[in-house]
Amino acid sequence: MSKLNEIVDETIAALEEMRRSGVTNVSVSPATLEELGRLPKVVSAQLAPIEASAKVCVKCPELVRCRHNVVFGVGDPHAELMFIGEAPGRDEDLEGEPFVGRAGELLTKIIQAMGLKRHEVYIANVLKCRPPENRTPLPEEVANCLPYLLTQIELIKPKVIVALGATAMKALLDVQLGITKIRGNWYTFRDIPIMPTFHPAYLLRNPAAKKEVWQDMQAVLAKLGREVPKR
Ligand code: URA
């Protein structure tokens, strides 16, 4: 555990102890409040135990047998923008990081085309373990793993979510239509605007669909109040 995480844990424990012993008010100077507001590590400290429990999760026996790594998520825990994919593939399983294979390279290019850097957004998947042969996640696997993603969203509080492909879209939205019909339209997940779009792996097979994804990303940038970079 890093030193900062220890400080955060000890501070939380001390505040809880004060509350238990009846303290109802603590005065904090405006400068300290400002400093606290700038502490991204507070969210990483909250994510750390969730990641630790995902890493030892054994709810999906087939995935547990095959996995090399549990792929929790990567990026800025204070990101305004969160991308959610389906599940780790072979490269992600080996490296322990989402979207690092061919589809990941394309996602990184999309992020860069938006004028952002990969480390400025947060990237996660619905499943944290690779399904064998990259098969589509089973409904019970999604149900087992979804609480991790929901906690990530709750802690990170992105301003906008991009759901990459049908699995991410179906995990978060109660929609019956396919991704081709749904993409490009805004939906809401727990008050957060969510844009479903095509998965980068689909774009590798159907490069003509990049045009639509770029339209969707322009809408995302507009929603974030950011300028659309010239291409
Ligand atoms: N496809 C996904 O949905 N997620 C990854 O991390 C890699 C490929």
Alpha carbon distance 103, 73 (integer Å): 16
Label residue 230 by pLDDT band (50, 70, 90): confident
What CATH number is attached to the domain comprising 141? 3.40.470.10
Ligand 1 center from residue 108 Cα (angstroms) = 12
Count Cα atoms within 13 angstroms, Cβ side, for 229. Answer: 10
Ligand 1 center from residue 98 Cα (angstroms) = 6
The pTM of the full predicted model, rounded to 2 decimals, is 0.84
Contact 145, 177 (CB under 8 A): no
Atom of ligand 1 nearest to the CA of 92: 6
In a domain, 45, yes or no: no
In a domain, 199, yes or no: yes
User: Per-residue pLDDT tens for 153-173?
Assistant: 999 999 999 999 999 999 999
In a domain, 113, yes or no: yes
In a domain, 171, yes or no: yes
58: phi then psi, degrees, rounded to nearest 5: -130, 30
pLDDT of residue 159: 98
**44 CB less than 6 Å from ligand 1?**
no
Helix (H/G/I), strand (E/B), else coil: 38: coil
77: phi then psi, degrees, rounded to nearest 5: -65, -10
User: Per-residue pLDDT tens for 25-83?
Assistant: 777 777 776 666 655 558 999 999 999 999 999 999 999 999 999 999 999 999 999 99
Alpha carbon distance 190, 180 (integer Å): 23
Position 51: which residue type? E
Position 156: which residue type? I
Count Cα atoms within 13 angstroms, Cβ side, for 6. Answer: 3
In a domain, 66, yes or no: yes
The sign of the torsion formed by the CA atoms of 102, 104, 106, 108 equals negative
Ligand 1 center from residue 64 Cα (angstroms) = 17
In a domain, 63, yes or no: yes
Atom of ligand 1 nearest to the CA of 91: 7
Query: Is the per-residue pLDDT at 198 higher than 70?
Result: yes
In a domain, 105, yes or no: yes
Atom of ligand 1 nearest to the CA of 125: 4
pLDDT of residue 28: 72
Region 110-137: mean pLDDT is 98
Count Cα atoms within 13 angstroms, Cβ side, for 165. Answer: 18
Counted domains in the chain = 1
Ligand 1 center from residue 182 Cα (angstroms) = 20
Chain-wide mean pLDDT for the chain? Answer: 92
Residue 91: domain span: 57-223
Label residue 3 by pLDDT band (50, 70, 90): low
Query: Is the per-residue pLDDT at 1 higher than 50?
Result: no
**137 CB less than 6 Å from ligand 1?**
no
